[in-house]
Structures are given as structure tokens and as C-alpha cells.
Amino acid sequence: MKSHNALARAVCFHRLGRIHDRTPESRQHRAGGLNLVVAAIILWNTVYMQRAITILRARGETIDDGLLGFLAPLGWQHINLTGDYLWSAPPKLEADGYRRLRTTTDPIAA
């Protein structure tokens, strides 16, 4: 629960975590939007974590199913929360329609 709240605070005004709307309806709309964005991040992370596990297992890695319960899709370090977006070129997608997963040999993974 603590990590979920930290993610919501990070998304809400880039870590300021304040809602300044005056009316209850406006605050409710803002909170609903925040919950939607947080849910989308959690879904994105869950899908890509599952893909990573599937690829690792396909490579012959042993992954204990008992440890999977300790994974939490609540990270946001890979998500731009500043509002500065660069759309220079569409991302290259794999044949299955997803972005390529990073490997330990990728320079950005270090």
C-alpha cells in the first residue's frame, strides 16, 4: 500500500501530491483521473514484467514461482512524469506488437 501511495503521489503533479480544485466534483474528477493513470502504469508494468519472465524462462532461466508473489508492478522510474515528451520517431515494436525488452547489455540498463 505504501508503494501504491508513492506512485500516486509521483503521478499527481510530479511528486507534489496536492489537489487544489475548489469544488468536491472537481476534486473527484481529478482523483478519478489520477486513479486511471496509476492503474494504467500498473497494467503496463504487469504486462512487461510477465513478458520479461516469459522471455527469461524461454532462455532457460529458472524462476521460482514462489518468488513472483513478491514482485510489485508499482515502479515509475521508466515513466516520464515531467510533461516533457519527445515524439521524434515511433518506437520500434517487436513482431508481437510490444516494445523490445532491455537486456543487461543495453547501455541504458546499467
In 3D space, the residue among 64, 74, 51 whose CA is nearest the CA of residue 4 turns out to be 74
**pLDDT tens-place string over residues 27-85:** 788 788 888 989 999 999 999 999 999 999 999 999 999 999 999 999 888 888 776 66
* Domain assignment of residue 50, yes or no: yes
Q: Is residue 69 part of a domain?
A: yes
Do the domain assignments include residue 74? yes
- Say how many domains are in the chain: 1
Q: What confidence tens digit (pLDDT) does each residue in 20-31 have?
A: 778 888 878 878
Q: Where are the alpha helices (DSSP H) in the chain?
A: 2-11, 24-58, 65-68
Whether residue 98 is contained in a domain is answered as no
What is the extent of the structural domain holding 53?
A: 2-79
Q: Which residues contact 91 (CB under 8 A, 6 or more apart)?
A: 99
The span from the CA of 49 to the CA of 58, in Å, is: 14
Confirm whether 103 is domain-assigned.
Answer: no
